[in-house]
Each structure stands twice: as C-alpha cells, then as structure tokens.
C-alpha cells in the first residue's frame, strides 16, 4: 500500500495512568455484543499544543470537556482510523496491522492540515491501554475488539484557517459482526462520495457525514449499503459505504484501482489481495464499468461480490440493484473464494496460522 513517511519521533514520555475505579467488563454479554455501543474501561488521550505533543494519559472512558468554538465542529478538521485486536486460543492479544493504520492516519492528517502522530506515541498508548483492558478483547468466534483512534482540531477560534491545536484519542469497544447477514447493495446513480482532487482517499470524518443522506435513502428502500460510482459520469464502480468492494469475475478477483485517489486504500483490501495471490488467484486492480458488473449478473460471469473493511471484515454481497432491477448473486458456501479468504485471514489474526507477512502485533 502506498503510504506517507513515518512521522518524526518525539522524546518518549511516561504515560500517566488514571485507573477506572471499577471495571464494567462483567456487565457485558459477550455472546450478544452490539457493534460500537459498549466501550472498554479506559481511553488514551493526548493534546497537541504549541507545536508539540503534551503529556499522554490513559484515563477512564468518559466525556471530554471542550469549547463549543473548536475548529472541528465548525470546519470539519477531524480524522479517524478503524483497527481491530483479536484474542487467540493461547489467550494472547494481537493487533492487526497497526503500523499501516498509523501511516494511513498520518496521510489523512497531512491532507487535512493536522499534526503528525509519532509512531511511538500511538503504539505506546495503544499497547499499554490494551494490556490494562485485555479482558475486553472477546474470544468468541467472529468477535474482536474494535479500536477507534480519532484526532480533531481543538483550536477555539471562529475563523476559517488551519488549526494549531489538536486532541488525539484512542477508544475501544468489543464487537460482533458488523453485517450479520449477506449485504444488499444498490448502485448509486445520482449522489457522489468523492471526486478527483478531493479527500476520498483519506479517512476524514466529513466523508461519512456527507454519505449519510444517500445511504439513508437506500436503507429506506431495503438495502444495506450503496455501491458508490464515480462523481463525473456515474459509470464506474468505486467502493461501498463502509468497505472496499471486490468482485469475482470468471476466475479473476477484480477490484477498483486506487489511482484516482477517490477510494480509501483499505488495509483489509490489501490483505485480501495479498492472500488471493498466495492462492494463485489472478488479481486485477482497474476501472470497473457498472455495465460490466450488471452484464456479469445477467450472464453468470459474476460469481461473487464482497466488501472488505476493518468493521465489515469480509462481507458477502448477495444482491446488487441497478435502475430498479434486483440481481441476485449465487449463495456463498465454505468453498467460495470470499469464505476461503476470510478463513485464511481469521486464522492469521487469532494465531492459528503462521503470520508470514508480519501483520500481527502481540500485546505484552
């Protein structure tokens, strides 16, 4: 994956730790976890002021006090990442590809005129917090600990300008599957997610806010998500609302290319393409016409379609709708390419298979 260079390192400061008075972990039903609603005991917080990072702190999860004039609220300087940690049969906690998330977050920060986050600050805070909250990492099949690093501008000034103060926070929550069933998508023909020259290739908060209305319209019609198309002509497939999209056309794995910088460079996407090549599956990253996908639905050339993302992991798509017509895809079974790739990825994440790509970072 194409990433920016690492942020300059800073003098490592000992992290201040304020432990929660009591843990809430025993109140959680880990066999029935809603996605993104239950948060772990602690969070990592650090401010960027006067051109340097201040004292980092691990503190009990809770509300933050901020001015209503902060730049993030008025001018949208906010970015985030999505990561996951897994607990293996050996009981050890493993974070999936954290250094790639750090690089991508700093790419987002550069595009949004925000401070670069040193790798040591990010990893020291994350690993120490996960060591404290290791009991929050689910061991149930299909479950994980979702990790949300977020940074937003805190300069309190009502003026359109680049902020110089920021707050970086990492919070975590145990989660089950984002999509508990195959996904139904509709190809978007009017609204746009991103245009060339915009911020579609970074995880800026505003990307998701702008997508809510068209996604709501689709959900009101019974679809789970959109398949976004290019902003100019709506002729080419780009990505889905919460994930990159991958198609099995004939014997090839085909996914939209990243060259126009309108699509997020997904870490799960990259992992899936890497594993597919290991299976000697031919992979194509290229422009994909909407009509090619619809023709594939009609002729049977389209064998599978699935999303790939941190939250979604690998999510099979069983219906694609276009111009009011629903096209159903073949049912997925254990031998389907998406299923095989998901098993390979899961086995690496929980330590059942060798981590030959050095993707997993052990905690403790």
CATH number for the domain spanning 168: value is: 3.30.470.10
Same-domain pairing of 236 and 284: yes
In a domain, 270, yes or no: yes
Identify the domain boundary among 175, 200, 220. 175
In a domain, 11, yes or no: no
Same-domain pairing of 192 and 163: no
Same-domain pairing of 199 and 167: no
Phi, psi of 105 (to 5 degrees): -65, -40
Give the span between the Cα atoms of 87 and 356, in whole angstroms: 18
Same-domain pairing of 246 and 312: yes
Matching residue, tokens 């694609």: 320
pLDDT at 232: 95
How many domains is the chain partitioned into structurally?
A: 2
In a domain, 262, yes or no: yes
pLDDT at 89: 85
CA angle 198/204/210 to nearest 5° reads 75
Residue range(s) defining the domain that contains residue 36: 16-175
pLDDT at 7: 55
In a domain, 36, yes or no: yes
Is 99 exposed, middle or buried, given 0-12, 13-18 or 19+ CB atoms closer than 10 A?
middle
pTM of the model: 0.94
Identify the domain boundary among 154, 175, 196. 175
Q: How confident is the model at residue 3 (pLDDT cuts 50, 70, 90)?
A: very low
Same-domain pairing of 255 and 302: yes
Q: Which tens digits make up the pLDDT trace of 154-166? A: 999 999 999 999 9
In a domain, 146, yes or no: yes
Q: Which tens digits make up the pLDDT trace of 299-340? A: 999 999 999 999 999 999 999 999 999 999 999 999 999 999
User: Mean per-residue pLDDT for 49-58?
Assistant: 97
Same-domain pairing of 259 and 316: yes
Same-domain pairing of 79 and 211: no
Share of the chain above pLDDT 90, in %: 95
pLDDT at 1: 42
pLDDT at 344: 97
pLDDT at 8: 52
Is 204 in contact with 109 (CB distance < 8 Å)? no
Question: Which of the two residues, 78 and 6, has the higher pLDDT score?
Answer: 78
Q: How confident is the model at residue 364 (pLDDT cuts 50, 70, 90)?
A: confident
Same-domain pairing of 35 and 161: yes
Q: How confident is the model at residue 9 (pLDDT cuts 50, 70, 90)?
A: low
Same-domain pairing of 212 and 314: yes
Which tokens hold the place of 285?
Answer: 């990253």
Per-chain mean pLDDT for the chain: 95
Give the span between the Cα atoms of 137 and 41, in whole angstroms: 12
In a domain, 5, yes or no: no
Same-domain pairing of 149 and 225: no
Q: Which tens digits make up the pLDDT trace of 179-222? A: 999 999 999 999 999 999 999 999 999 999 999 999 999 999 99
Same-domain pairing of 246 and 104: no
Identify the domain boundary among 142, 175, 208. 175
DSSP 104-138: HHHHHHHHTT-PPPPHHHHHHHHHHHHHHTGGGS-
In a domain, 67, yes or no: yes
User: Mean per-residue pLDDT for 93-118?
Assistant: 98
User: Mean per-residue pLDDT for 79-87?
Assistant: 98
- CATH number of the domain within which 218 lies: 3.20.10.10
Q: How confident is the model at residue 10 (pLDDT cuts 50, 70, 90)?
A: low
CB atoms within 10 A of CB 204: 23
Which tokens hold the place of 108?
Answer: 């987002």
**Residue 35 confidence (pLDDT) above 60:** yes
Q: How confident is the model at residue 2 (pLDDT cuts 50, 70, 90)?
A: very low
In a domain, 356, yes or no: no
Is 230 in contact with 294 (CB distance < 8 Å)? no
**Residue 54 confidence (pLDDT) above 70:** yes
Q: Which tens digits make up the pLDDT trace of 227-259? A: 999 999 999 999 998 899 999 999 999 999 999
**Residue 4 confidence (pLDDT) above 50:** no
Same-domain pairing of 232 and 202: yes
């Amino acid at each position: 994956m194409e990433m920016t260079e690492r942020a300059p390192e800073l003098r490592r400061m000992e992290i201040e730790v304020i432990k929660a008075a009591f843990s809430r972990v025993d109140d959680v039903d880990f066999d029935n976890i809603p996605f993104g609603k239950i948060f772990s005991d602690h969070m990592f917080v650090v401010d960027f002021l006067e051109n340097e990072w201040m004292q980092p702190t691990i503190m009990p999860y809770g509300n933050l006090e901020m001015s209503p004039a902060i730049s993030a609220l008025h001018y949208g300087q906010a970015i985030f990442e999505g990561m996951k940690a897994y607990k293996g049969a050996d009981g050890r906690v493993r974070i999936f590809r954290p250094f790639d998330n750090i690089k991508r977050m700093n790419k987002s920060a550069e595009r949004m005129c925000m401070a670069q986050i040193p790798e040591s600050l990010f990893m020291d805070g994350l690993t120490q917090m996960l060591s404290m909250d290791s009991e929050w990492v689910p061991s149930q099949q299909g479950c994980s600990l979702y990790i949300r690093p977020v940074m937003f501008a805190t300069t309190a000034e009502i003026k359109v300008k680049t902020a110089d103060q920021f707050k970086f926070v990492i919070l975590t929550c145990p989660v089950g599957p984002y999509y508990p069933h195959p996904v139904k998508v509709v190809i978007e023909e009017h609204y746009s997610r991103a245009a060339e020259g915009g911020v579609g290739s970074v995880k800026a908060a505003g990307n998701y806010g702008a997508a809510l209305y068209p996604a709501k319209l689709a959900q009101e019609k019974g679809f789970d998500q959109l398949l976004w198309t290019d902003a100019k002509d709506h002729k080419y497939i780009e990505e889905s609302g919460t994930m990159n999209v991958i198609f099995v056309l004939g014997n090839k794995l085909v996914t939209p290319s990243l060259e126009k910088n309108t699509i997020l460079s997904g870490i799960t996407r990259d992992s899936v393409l890497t594993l597919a090549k290991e299976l000697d599956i031919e992979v194509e990253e290229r422009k994909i016409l909407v009509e090619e996908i619809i023709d594939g639905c009609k002729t049977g050339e389209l064998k599978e379609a699935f999303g790939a993302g941190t939250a979604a992991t690998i999510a099979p798509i069983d219906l694609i709708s276009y111009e009011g017509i629903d096209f159903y895809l073949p049912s997925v079974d254990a031998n389907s390419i998406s299923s095989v790739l998901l098993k390979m990825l899961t086995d690496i994440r929980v330590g059942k298979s060798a981590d030959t790509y050095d993707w997993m970072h052990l905690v403790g």
